Amino acid sequence: MTRAASMVGETWWYESLPLASAWGELVFLEPWGLLGLAAPVALLALSLVRRSTRESFLGTARFFEADVQGSEGQARRSVPAWLIVAMVALLLGTLALARPGAPPEPLSGVVIDLVVDQSPSMFHPVRRSDPGGPRRIDVAVEAFRAWAERYEAENATPVLVRLSSSEPSSWRAVTAPALTSGSAGDLPMVSRAEPLWAAFDRPGFVWITDRAIPSNERKHAGLFASGGESLPGPIAAGPAGSIDWLADGTTSFRVGGAEAGKVFIGPRVPESLVQLMRLWAADRGLAEVNAEASAEASAEASAETGGDARSADLRLTRSPPPEDGSFTVVESRRVGRDGWEATVSEVFGAATDGRVTPWWVDSDGRVLVGAGIGEIRVGFGGFSEPPDDPAAFAVSWIGLFDRMRPVPQGVLPPEERVAAGSPVSAPPQRLPVLPPPPPAAEDSQRIRPDRLAALLRSVLAGSAALLGLLAVALLALATDRRPERRR
């Protein structure tokens, strides 16, 4: 059997072979190169025109030449061998120039890393006149979603979104509630500061915020900002009164402030930290809850029941040693930060979680102090040697107390009160692409089209070069023989 098989439906048996399948997947990556197919035709036409012109110049003499040379004249009127070889070389070179190859594999999708501003202003309405209207975070997220939908439609490429280190997922799952832990009423209004944008200025990143970021601070990342009007309200409050931010950008002092804040100091906290916090609280006009209970047992009972401790705005406590024994107690360790050093004793490590993060860590990774809004945990027993720089030590800890103290309800810093300006939609310019999925197990035996295409291009180019040299040699040989025949 010449075809060695039968036909099933409309498909011949050889189409299922690996080689035939690979051939069928090849395309011309540079189809403009096929314009070179006109070169062999032009060369043949030029040769025929020159021969016709030469015969017209000979006139009737060509009949005598044909009688004398006989069959040699017939051979001369046929297409010379060098011309045939040259045309084949041009044909193969043209095919090589068109670059046969495998078509680009379909993209799995472009990946975008979202950085979402969850500072307090993001949960306020865009317009003061519409208190129940869309919040800034809703408007910014919706602008990003609209762009992602257009991008998918125009580029036929899925847009995948990644938050932190999570796996990429469809942009359709991106909504304001999904990006935050709740509404404005559910969020601690100062638990999330505005991101440090410079750390996320990379290709493939998109910032979701409410105000435009200066161009000198954003070179690679995309930006979707909601804009928004100013937010009049208190920017500071205390027992004596509050300072209000007005719509025109000015401030005013209002007598009669909020209730004085409270602090709680737990048992077995190092004495130097106890004294420092009491001095700080007195300077800030804060009261120490359960201050009259000087007995340790009474303080422990209060901490366990949570009565007085929970009512405090800021709690300074000693963290219990880890129950899993992940760290052994170290007698002493010389550790420092912020320009000071101190020797701490009985180091066991402070417990941390999603709300309390490390603030002071030793060289072995033990968390000496963990801090979060409203709470500071100490993971060592005390100071066996005082700090080498008491002033730097005091400034460092007082700064920590100030940052961890919750702002009174409704109080926002001035940068959160000012107008956010107009909306901004600046899509990212470069987007990373997810690699295509690995081939299935049944495809491992197939001949890869890209390898076959590379081999084909090499064969075409090499053959064209060799045939071109052969055509030049044949032309030179034919030129040398022509005078001999005339003699």
- Number of alpha carbons in the 13 Å side-chain half-sphere of residue 304: 6
Residue from 128, 130, 415 nearest 247 by CA? 128
Number of other residues whose CB lies within 10 A of the CB of residue 312 = 20
Q: Are 160 and 172 in contact (CB under 8 A)?
A: no
> Are 127 and 422 spatial neighbours (Cβ–Cβ below 8 Å)?
no
Please report, for residues 165, 387, 401, the alpha-carbon distance to residue 356 in angstroms, rounded to integers and kept in the order given.
Answer: 20, 25, 14
At 416, list the tokens: 């959160």
* Residue-level pLDDT at 226: 93
How far apart CA 256 and CA 223 sit, in angstroms, is 41
pLDDT at 279: 92
Tell me what pLDDT residue 259 has. 65
Distance CA 82, CA 91 (A): 14
What's the order of all strands across the beta sheet hosting 233-237?
Answer: 233-237, 241-245, 251-255
Q: Which of 274, 261, 363 is nearest to 318 (CA)?
A: 274
What is the C-alpha radius of gyration for the chain, rounded to an integer number of angstroms? 41
Tens digit of each residue's pLDDT (9 = 90 or more) over 293-336: 434 433 443 444 344 566 677 889 888 765 555 556 667 778 88
Show the low-confidence residues of the chain (pLDDT under 70).
Answer: 1-25, 50-78, 103-107, 164-166, 180-192, 238-241, 255-260, 290-311, 321-330, 434-450, 481-487
Helices (H), 59-135: 61-69, 71-77, 81-97
Q: Indicate the pairing of strand 100-101 with strand 169-170.
A: unpaired
Q: Residue 162 burial (CB < 10 Å; 0-12/13-18/19+)? A: middle
Q: Which two tokens stand for residue 175?
A: 């909504």
Two structure tokens written together for 68: 């004398």
Q: Render pLDDT for 365-395 as a digit per residue (tens, 0 to 9).
A: 888 898 888 889 998 888 888 888 889 999 9
CA distance 247 to 129: 12
- Residues in the chain, total: 487
Rounded CA-CA distance 83/479 in Å is: 13
Task: Check residue 7 and give its pLDDT.
Answer: 34
Rounded distance between C-alpha atoms, residue 96 and residue 103, angstroms = 16
As a whole number of angstroms, the distance between CA 93 and CA 86 comes to 10
Burial readout 211-222 (b: 16 or more C-beta within 10 A, e: otherwise): bbbeeeebeebb
Which among 287, 291, 339 is positioned nearest to 313, based on CA atoms? 287
